[in-house]
Structure 1
């Protein structure tokens, strides 16, 4: 019987983004799946996903959607040592 080889685990997780809107408000740590990022588009898929999320929030709240001024990756937090 042939031995079955396991495939390498996919690197899963998410990347956090800080969003600044044109009205000056800020949203920190907006989560975007890693699978969307890393191609030739850079962080543009993250902007599209966050805009879609904002549109859904705006529809539910009855308020107009805010326009994104800038989108940057949140700084990585240092790993906490086990207690």
Structure 2
């Protein structure tokens, strides 16, 4: 049975875009919102996504890819130092 629109709790997860060393990208990776915030801000998301990748790699029989960067979905990319 389908859910009613708007019945999903908001703020339960934060979505991240992940860019891997080989140049591939995965969008909308879900990270529990309770892990984020405080002084570390989004740093715990990287560890959570690495664990997700290990689980996925184990199930698929492939080696996990090295993560180059993560950004919140829809967030503006950070500029490099000295760039205009």
Shorter-normalised TM-score: what interval? Answer: 0.7 to 0.9
Q: Distance in 2 between matches of 1:37 and 1:18?
A: 15
Deviations 1:16-73 (A, max 9, x none): 1000000111000001111000021111110000000000111111111101001000
Normalised to the residue count of structure 2, the TM-score between the two structures is: 0.73
* Structure label with greater radius of gyration: 1
Normalised to the residue count of structure 1, the TM-score between the two structures is: 0.74
CA RMSD in angstroms comes to 1.5
Consecutive unaligned residues of structure 2, counting only runs of 5 or more, are: 1-9, 76-84
1:69 paired with 2:68, answer: yes
Post-superposition, which runs of at least 4 consecutive aligned residues in structure 1 deviate over 3 A? none
Consecutive unaligned residues of structure 1, counting only runs of 5 or more, are: 1-10, 77-83
